[in-house]
C-alpha cells in the first residue's frame, strides 16, 4: 500500500506535461501511472499543476555581517518562507570569515541550522581567506564530504579575492570537481565611484546603483570568464543584472566555454529608479542590493536570456534586512551614505510566484522552462539530480501544486519571513503555489505552514553535471 496517492494531477517537468497519478512511499515517488492503486492518504489535484519542488540555489541566512547588522532570517524563518513560496530545497551559504578555518565555519552553520529547517538544505561555501591550508587541505576534504560548490567575491572589503587568489581557488575547483559561483563586480571601480559620488554629496540610497553601473559588472564578468578559461574550470556567474554582463556570458557560451549563469527576481521586477524611494529618501534602502536592479531595457534583455538558455538558474539571492531596524537597513551611518546600507533584499518566498506570473502566465517562457530554471537545472548543476529537481520514480517526493488561475496582490502580509517588508509590495501576480510537499509530507497548504521545524534534512551533494558526469 502507498503512503500517499496524488490523483488528477497535471504533471509538469522540465521536459513534459502530462496527466497521471503519483504514488509515494517512504518519502519517494514509487509509481507514476494512470491509476496508482490504494493509499493511506489521498490528495486531489484537480485544476492544479504539479511541479517539482523549487530549489533555491542562492540564499543567505543567518550570515554574520559585522558593523552591528543582523540578517532578518535565520534557518527557521527563512526555510518557512521558502516552503510557503513553493520551494523544497534551500541552498544557503556557509561563510568563512577571514582568519577562520572553513571547517569551523561549516560546523557553526550546521549548529545554527540543526532542528530548525522546514525544507531540505545544503550549503555552498564562501571562501574569503584562501590560505594554503584552506586550498590544500580543507577544501579538498570538504568537497569529498559533499560541499561541492563554493562562492567567491570580486568585491566587498571583507570578502574580495584578488586575481591570483581567484585563480588559486579555480585551480582547486578543477582538481576536486567543484562548481565555483562568482560574484562579478569590480572592487576598485566601485570604490572609485563611491568616493566620487560621496565627494559630490550624492549619498542617498539611489547612488548605490550609480556606484556600481553595468560596466563594473561587465568587466568583472569578463575577467572571471577569462580566468576560468585559463584554469579550464566551469564557473557560474551569479545574480546577473542586465544586458552588458549577459552579453559576456553569451560570448563565452558561443565559444563553447563551460560557463553557467544565474539571474534573480529583482532583475525582472525592479529598476534602479526604485532606489530613489519617494523623493530620493531613505525608502530607497528597501531596494539596495548588489548588483543593483537596472532599467527596462535590461529587464527585456534578462527575459531574452531566460528564454534562450543564456540563463540556467533563477534563484532568489534572498538576503533580508529589516527596514525599520537599527540592526538592519537603518543601521548607524546608513542615512549618511548609501555605502553603509546593508546590501540585500528578501525574495525567497516571492521568487517562484514572480517568475510564474511574469514568465509563464504572461507567455514569456514555457512552463517547462520555468521548471528547468527553478528546480531541474539547480539540481543538475549542484549535484542533486535526479534525487531532486524532477518528478520521476525514485526521486524524492518534493512537489509544488500551482493554481495557475489564482490572482494575488503581493504583500508583506502574505509573507512568512521575518523581514518587515517585501520589495514587491502591490505587484499583481497570476499563478500561486497552494501546496508544498517535502519528501511526501505536506509542509504548506493554502497559506498555512503545516510542517514543523526540523522536518528538513541536510543534503550531501555529488559532483556537478557541469563536469560532464
Ligand atoms: O546584495 C546582495 N546581493 N547581497 C547578498 C550578498 C551577495 O552578494 O550575494
Ligand atoms: Zn553575490
Ligand atoms: Zn547573494
Task: Check which CATH number belongs to the domain holding 23 and give it.
Answer: 2.30.40.10
In a domain, residue 318? The reply is yes
Q: What is the dihedral of CA 246, 211, 358, 350, to 10 degrees?
A: 120
Domain harbouring 83, CATH code: 3.20.20.140
Mutate to test the pocket of ligand 1, among 187, 240, 286, 289 (most ligand atoms within 8 A of CB): 289
Task: Judge if 75 and 17 occupy the same domain.
Answer: no
Please give the Cα distance from 319 to 289 (Å, whole number): 9
Q: Which atom of ligand 1 is nearest to the CA of 58?
A: 9
Task: Judge if 278 and 417 occupy the same domain.
Answer: no
Task: Judge if 164 and 182 occupy the same domain.
Answer: yes
Task: Judge if 402 and 415 occupy the same domain.
Answer: yes
If you average pLDDT over residues 3-28, what whole number do you get?
98
In a domain, residue 390? The reply is yes
Q: Where are the alpha helices (DSSP H) in 264-388?
A: 266-269, 296-308, 351-355, 367-371, 377-381
Which residues have CB under 8 Å from 389's CB, separation 6+? 14, 52, 55, 375, 376, 377, 378, 379, 380, 395
Nearest ligand to the C-alpha of residue 320? 1
Task: Judge if 60 and 188 occupy the same domain.
Answer: yes
Measured N-to-C along each axis, helices 214-231 and 163-176 cross at an angle, to the nearest 10 degrees, of: 50
- C-alpha neighbours within 13 Å on the C-beta side of residue 346: 33
* DSSP structural state of residue 322: -
Q: Whose CA is nearest to atom 2 of ligand 1?
A: 344
Beta bridge partners of 435: 401, 445
Tally of domains within the chain = 2
If you average pLDDT over residues 42-52, what whole number do you get?
98
pLDDT, one tens digit per residue, over 391-411 is 999 999 999 999 999 999 999
- Decide if pLDDT at 236 tops 90: yes
pLDDT, one tens digit per residue, over 128-175 is 999 999 999 999 999 999 999 999 999 999 999 999 999 999 999 999
Q: Where are the alpha helices (DSSP H) in 1-87?
A: 75-84
How far does residue 63's CA lie from ligand 1's centre (Å)?
11
> Could you give the 3-state DSSP secondary structure of residue 326?
coil
* DSSP structural state of residue 72: S
For the record, the C-alpha cell of 385 comes out as 539530480
In a domain, residue 124? The reply is yes
Task: Judge if 334 and 426 occupy the same domain.
Answer: no
If you average pLDDT over residues 269-281, what whole number do you get?
98
Cα–Cα distances in Å, from 111 out to 59, 62, 269, 461? Answer: 17, 12, 35, 19
Please give the Cα distance from 384 to 395 (Å, whole number): 10
Task: Judge if 290 and 390 occupy the same domain.
Answer: no
CA-based R_g, the chain, Å: 21
pLDDT band at 312 (very low <50, low <70, confident <90, very high): very high
Q: Give 387-400 as a 3 state SS string.
A: CCCCCCCCCECCEE
Residues with CB under 6 Å of ligand 1 are: 60, 183, 239, 289-290, 317, 319, 343-344
In a domain, residue 376? The reply is no
In a domain, residue 132? The reply is yes
* DSSP structural state of residue 460: -
If you average pLDDT over residues 310-337, what whole number do you get?
98
For 467, phi then psi, to 5°, come to -90, 10
pLDDT, one tens digit per residue, over 61-99 is 999 999 999 999 999 999 999 999 999 999 999 999 999
Q: Which atom of ligand 1 is nearest to the CA of 288?
A: 1
* DSSP structural state of residue 286: G
Q: Write down the mean pLDDT value for the chain.
A: 98
Q: Which atom of ligand 1 is nearest to the CA of 60?
A: 5
- Decide if pLDDT at 34 tops 90: yes
Task: Judge if 128 and 261 occupy the same domain.
Answer: yes
Number of H helices and number of E strands within the chain? 14, 18
Place of cell 532578518: 72
Please give the Cα distance from 19 to 84 (Å, whole number): 25
Task: Judge if 242 and 256 occupy the same domain.
Answer: yes
pLDDT band at 327 (very low <50, low <70, confident <90, very high): very high
In a domain, residue 458? The reply is no
Please give the Cα distance from 175 to 170 (Å, whole number): 9
Task: Judge if 178 and 305 occupy the same domain.
Answer: yes
Cα–Cα distances in Å, from 157 out to 161, 189, 191, 285, 319? Answer: 9, 13, 10, 20, 18
Which residues have CB under 8 Å from 464's CB, separation 6+? 148, 149, 177, 178, 179, 234, 380, 381, 382, 383
Position 145 scores a pLDDT of: 98
Mutate to test the pocket of ligand 1, among 58, 60, 320 (most ligand atoms within 8 A of CB): 60
Domain containing 149 equals 53-369+463-467
Position 263 scores a pLDDT of: 99
How far does residue 340's CA lie from ligand 1's centre (Å)?
14
Q: Which atom of ligand 1 is nearest to the CA of 344?
A: 1
Task: Judge if 83 and 109 occupy the same domain.
Answer: yes
Task: Judge if 60 and 33 occupy the same domain.
Answer: no
- Decide if pLDDT at 469 tops 90: no
Which residues have CB under 8 Å from 304's CB, separation 6+? 310
Place of cell 518566498: 349
Sign of CA dihedral 410, 444, 343, 152: negative
Which residues have CB under 8 Å from 33's CB, separation 6+? 20, 21, 23
Please give the Cα distance from 38 to 376 (Å, whole number): 29
How far does residue 6's CA lie from ligand 3's centre (Å)?
36
Nearest ligand to the C-alpha of residue 348? 3
Place of cell 506535461: 17
Cα angle vertex 379, ends 402, 30, to 5°?
A: 65
Buried b (16+ CB within 10 A) or exposed e, 366-384: ebbbbbbbbbbbbbbbbbb
pTM for the structure as a whole: 0.99
Please report which helix (H) or strand (E) contains residue 176, including its range: helix 163-176
Burial-class residue 229 by CB neighbours within 10 Å (0-12, 13-18, 19+): middle
In a domain, residue 445? The reply is no
Q: Whose CA is nearest to atom 9 of ligand 1?
A: 317
Under 8 Å between Cβ of 59 and 316: yes
In a domain, residue 446? The reply is no
Under 8 Å between Cβ of 253 and 223: no
The alpha carbon of residue 31 and the mean position of all alpha carbons in its chain are separated, in whole angstroms, by 30
Amino acid at each position: 500500500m502507498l503512503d500517499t496517492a496524488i490523483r488528477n494531477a497535471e504533471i509538469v517537468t522540465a521536459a513534459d506535461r502530462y496527466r497521471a497519478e503519483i504514488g509515494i512511499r517512504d518519502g519517494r515517488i514509487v509509481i507514476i501511472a494512470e491509476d496508482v492503486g490504494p493509499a493511506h492518504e489521498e490528495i486531489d489535484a484537480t485544476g492544479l499543476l504539479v511541479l517539482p519542488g523549487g530549489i533555491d540555489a542562492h540564499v543567505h541566512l543567518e550570515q554574520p555581517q559585522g558593523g552591528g547588522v543582523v540578517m532578518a532570517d535565520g534557518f527557521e524563518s527563512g526555510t518557512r518562507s521558502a516552503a510557503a513560496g513553493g520551494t523544497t530545497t534551500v541552498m544557503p551559504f556557509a561563510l568563512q570569515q577571514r582568519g577562520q578555518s572553513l571547517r569551523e565555519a561549516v560546523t557553526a552553520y550546521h549548529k545554527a541550522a540543526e532542528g530548525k529547517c522546514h525544507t531540505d538544505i545544503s550549503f555552498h561555501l564562501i571562501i574569503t581567506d584562501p590560505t594554503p591550508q584552506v586550498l590544500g587541505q580543507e577544501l579538498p576534504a570538504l568537497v569529498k564530504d559533499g560541499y561541492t560548490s563554493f562562492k567567491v567575491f570580486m568585491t566587498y572589503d571583507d570578502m574580495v579575492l584578488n586575481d591570483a587568489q581567484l585563480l588559486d581557488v579555480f585551480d582547486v575547483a578543477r582538481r576536486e570537481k567543484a562548481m565555483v559561483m562568482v560574484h562579478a563586480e569590480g572592487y576598485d571601480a566601485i570604490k572609485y565611484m563611491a568616493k566620487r559620488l560621496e565627494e559630490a554629496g550624492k549619498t542617498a540610497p539611489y547612488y548605490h546603483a550609480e556606484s556600481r553601473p553595468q560596466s563594473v559588472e561587465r568587466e568583472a564578468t569578463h575577467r572571471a570568464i577569462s580566468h576560468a578559461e585559463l584554469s579550464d574550470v566551469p564557473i557560474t556567474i551569479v545574480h546577473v543584472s542586465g544586458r552588458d554582463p549577459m552579453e559576456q556570458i553569451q560570448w563565452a557560451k558561443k565559444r563553447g566555454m563551460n560557463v553557467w549563469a544565474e539571474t534573480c527576481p529583482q532583475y525582472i521586477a525592479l529598476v534602479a529608479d526604485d532606489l530613489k524611494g519617494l523623493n530620493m529618501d531613505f525608502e530607497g534602502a528597501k531596494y539596495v542590493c548588489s548588483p543593483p536592479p537596472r532599467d527596462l531595457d535590461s529587464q527585456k534583455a534578462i527575459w531574452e536570456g531566460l528564454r534562450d538558455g543564456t540563463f540556467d538558474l533563477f534563484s532568489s539571492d534572498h538576503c533580508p534586512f529589516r527596514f525599520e531596524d537599527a540592526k538592519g537597513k537603518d543601521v548607524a551611518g546608513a542615512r549618511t551614505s548609501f555605502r553603509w546600507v546593508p546590501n540585500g533584499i528578501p525574495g525567497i518566498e516571492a521568487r517562484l510566484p514572480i517568475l510564474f506570473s511574469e514568465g509563464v502566465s504572461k507567455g514569456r517562457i514555457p512552463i517547462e522552462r520555468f521548471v528547468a530554471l527553478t528546480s531541474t537545472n539547480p539540481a543538475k548543476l549542484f549535484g542533486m539530480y535526479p534525487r531532486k529537481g524532477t518528478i520521476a520514480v525514485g526521486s524524492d517526493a518534493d512537489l509544488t501544486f500551482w493554481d495557475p488561475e489564482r490572482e494575488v496582490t503581493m504583500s508583506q502580509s502574505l509573507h512568512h519571513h521575518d523581514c518587515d517588508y517585501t520589495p514587491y509590495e502591490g505587484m499583481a501576480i497570476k499563478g500561486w503555489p497552494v501546496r508544498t510537499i517535502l519528501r511526501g509530507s505536506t509542509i504548506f497548504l493554502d497559506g498555512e505552514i503545516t510542517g514543523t521545524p526540523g522536518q528538513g534534512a541536510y543534503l550531501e551533494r555529488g559532483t556537478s553535471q557541469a563536469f560532464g558526469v
